[in-house]
Every structure is written in structure tokens, then in C-alpha cells.
Amino acid sequence: MKLPEQFLNSLKGISGFDESAFVDLHSKNEKLTSIRLNPFKKVELDFNLDNKVDWCENAFYLNERPAFTFDPLFHAGCYYVQEAGSMFLEHILRSSVDLKQELAVLDLCAAPGGKSTLINSLINENSFLISNEVIKPRSEVLEHNLNKWGTCNTAVTNCDPQIFSKLDSVFDVIVADVPCSGSGLFRKQPEAVNEWSLDNVNLCCTRQKRITGDCISSLKPGGIFIYSTCSYSKEENEMQVEWMLNEFDLELVEIPLNKNWNVITTDLGYRFYPYLTKSEGFFCAVLRKEGEEQSDHSKKRKKYSFEEISKKEFEPLKNKIELKDNHKLFLFENNYKLVNTSLFDFMNQYGSNLYFKKTGTTVGELKHKDFLPHHELAQSIYLNSSFTRFELNKEQAIAFLRKENLVAKPEKGICLMAYKNHGIGWAKVLDNRINNYLPKEFRILNQTES
């Protein structure tokens, strides 16, 4: 891989940058694969987990990359394939935030969902996460990945970040993994080398200022702001942090590091170089908004249109889901939705400001007094055990995910199709056939595991 001379010159003098080591690394065809396990869906995987990722509890490197598309547990949301450096977010959150508290968290540029599923794994069940993505097709991927994770305390919004400037002092934590020039991913995505230019770096800087500037007002006093990129350019990293410190009432937060991790500490953040860390290129900084902390994120506002269903309306659902004390059920566009109380309150306070792509878990709908479960419920951790289940072997699970004819004999009626006790979809079993209810957009189209 030939790296642009202009790019290499722009990095000279930056803390931790070693040009010869950098160029040598990028001349090799080495690629890392790392995954993070879903703590809500524990299971024995069909491949080996090798070395642990030091800064993330449930994360591992793989010596060989499996064909994830042909792993039913991937489709069931039992793990997420994520770059190891970006998993440093877990260490940041554990070091800077009291995760035992009820938190309101915003993941501002959230697609495809790696950081959102990580955040969701760490916050408690009384907290909630708003995962935003401005580009509609990417927001749909984000929605799918959060649905697979299985919890009901997340929502996906499809909004321009500017919208969040209208929400005053709402969030305890904001994570902004902003769009960047992508130089940190050159090894992983060699085609990105040809797209790099100083003009693109400058364009990204302008966009980054707008994105971060738009959301700072929605952070509570005392709240934590986490800024990150997958770029090496100081213009997109330290210079952006310096601008934020000068422009807003923010202060830097120091994060403790294990020296064996080889993460480079600069005056304004933390840098990951792949010849030092077992990761791709990554930068992050942690800031705190000055002012006294607020313990209650609820505000008195006119209520929106979400109303909890009555006990009578809940009757058809009582044996379908595990409803906890901090859960709310409401009806939206003929579908029953399950959320936790804090997310329900947030939606009623700010629903008129935001466009929601996903709210909690879609449970299902009633059709002619019969309950038709939604695909999201198949992957939910709140699914009641009273549902008829059929345990598929791997060959049968792949056939189901391809929507091929299934050689199996489940019980008649609506049936949860599962692999290693984790739901991958629904089917209706009739006398002479099985109707596969897997949404067509989730169907495996590949014919081989290459």
C-alpha cells in the first residue's frame, strides 16, 4: 500500500507517530478480527475465542475470521463484530461515569451500532440510550443491530444533529464518533487511501464542528462528552478538542491507562497506533461540561401522544412477554411496543422534536383477536418461555435464514425458531407446510461461505 506523501508529512511531530513503523505496518497485509459478546445472550460459540481485548471485558480477538453471515448466533445477536480500538469506549465509560445511576445517553452518530450496543451493555436497565443516525439507510442498519441486542431501553432516531440543540440539558452522556477522513482505517479499507486529501480533512473538520456544536447544549452540567474519530489528523482530533474547550464550558477528563496497552496520551486526548496497539487507528477525548450535576433528567413539558395501555388491553399479552416493574407498554400504529419507564418519559417529553425509527422492542400486533409476534420479539430478552419453541440444528437454522424449505416437524401454530436456545425468527406451522415469517430484508442471499 502506497501512502500519500502529503498524508505522511501532515503527521510528523504528532505524539507517538513513527513514520517508518507506520509505513512498514501498512505494507503488510495483516488484518485483525475482534468481536464483543452480548452479555444478555450468553452462549457457547461455534468458533474459538483467542486473546482478550485488554480494555473491554467481553471482547476477544479471533485468529481466523469465520463466515459470520453463516453463523445463526450472529443473526441472533449473541455477539457484535467490532474494531478493537473503538471498544476503548467501555474503559472510558467505566472510568468517567457512575453506571449504577439512571442515565440518559445519546450516541449522536451511531450507525452501524458498535458503540450503541456496547453502551447498551453497560448502562443499567433503568437507564436509556438514544442512538441517532442522520443517513436513513444507515439508520436502518443501526435499528437492526440494536434489535438483535435484545433490550427495550433503546431508541433509534433519524435526525440531523442540529435537532438536539433544542433539547436543553437532557443527557448525562453524549458519545460523538464523528464522520472523519478515515485514515485510521487504511489497513482495514485500503481503498480509502485514494480518497484521502487535505481538502477532505478540512471538509470533515467543518462538519465535525457543526455536529459537536449542535449537541453540547443538550448535555447536562456535569455530564460527560466523549469525542472520537478513526483519523490520525491533528486537525480532526486535538485541534477539534482545543476548539471545543475554547468555545464551550468544557474541561478535559483524564482517563487512567495501563501502560502495557501502549495507548499514546497527548495533551488533548488518546491515540491508538496499530504498530503499538492491537487495533486500527483511533482517537478519543473525554470532556465534562462545567456546572453542578443534575440528578433528575425529567422536565415538565407538554405530554406527547404515547399512552400506556390499560390492564384490559394487556390481557392478550400477559403470557407473551416478561413485563418488569420498570416497563411500559404502549400501542403505536397497531403494534404493541415495550420500553422502560425512563425511555417512555423521554419520548413523551421530546417526541415532538425527534423522528423515531425504533422505540424499545416491538412486541407484535393483534389480528382478529390473534396475537402475531413481531420479529423483534424473537430476539428480545423479555420473551416469555410459554411460546412454542423449535430448536434447529445449524443446517436447519441456515435454511430458515435463507427462507428455504425446512426439513423439520415443529408443533402446529406460531413457533419460535431457535438455535442454541436463542431466537432467530418466527414461523407458522401448518398441516402441510411451514410459513417462514423472517423479514425478507434479513434473508441470507449468499450461497457459499466464502
Give pLDDT tens digits for 349-407. Answer: 998 899 999 999 999 998 877 889 999 999 999 998 888 999 999 999 999 999 998 88
289, 309, 343 — which closes off a domain?
A: 289
Whole domain around residue 254: which residue ranges? 5-289
Contact 180, 410 (CB under 8 A): no
- The whole-angstrom separation of Cα 282 and Cα 105 is 22
242, 257, 289 — which closes off a domain?
A: 289
Please give the tally of structural domains in the chain: 2
Q: What is the pLDDT of residues 16-56, one digit of tens each?
A: 999 999 999 999 878 899 999 999 999 999 999 989 999 99
Report the pLDDT averaged over residues 221-229: 98
393 and 285, same domain (yes or no) = no
Q: Determine phi and psi for 286, rounding to 5 degrees.
A: -120, 130
284 and 157, same domain (yes or no) = yes
pTM over 0.75: yes
Cell numbers for 360: 424499545
Is residue 197 domain-resident? yes
402 and 257, same domain (yes or no) = no
Please give the mean pLDDT across all residues of the chain.
Answer: 93
Distances (CA, A) of 78 to 204, 326, 346: 34, 24, 28
Q: What is the pLDDT of residues 106-144, one digit of tens each?
A: 999 999 999 999 999 999 999 999 999 999 999 999 999
Could you tell me the CATH number of the domain that includes residue 111? 3.40.50.150
Instruction: Name, in order, each residue with C-beta under 8 angstroms of 67's C-beta and a sequence gap of 6 or more.
Output: 449, 450
195 and 60, same domain (yes or no) = yes
Indicate the burial class of 118 (C-beta count within 10 angstroms; 0-12, 13-18, 19 or more).
buried
289, 307, 332 — which closes off a domain?
A: 289
Is residue 383 domain-resident? no
Indicate the burial class of 416 (C-beta count within 10 angstroms; 0-12, 13-18, 19 or more).
buried
Is residue 354 domain-resident? no
Could you tell me the CATH number of the domain that includes residue 431? 3.10.450.720
Is residue 88 domain-resident? yes
Contact 91, 200 (CB under 8 A): no
Contact 3, 23 (CB under 8 A): yes
Is residue 339 domain-resident? no
Q: Determine phi and psi for 170, rounding to 5 degrees.
A: -105, -40
Distances (CA, A) of 184 to 177, 190, 197, 279: 13, 11, 14, 10
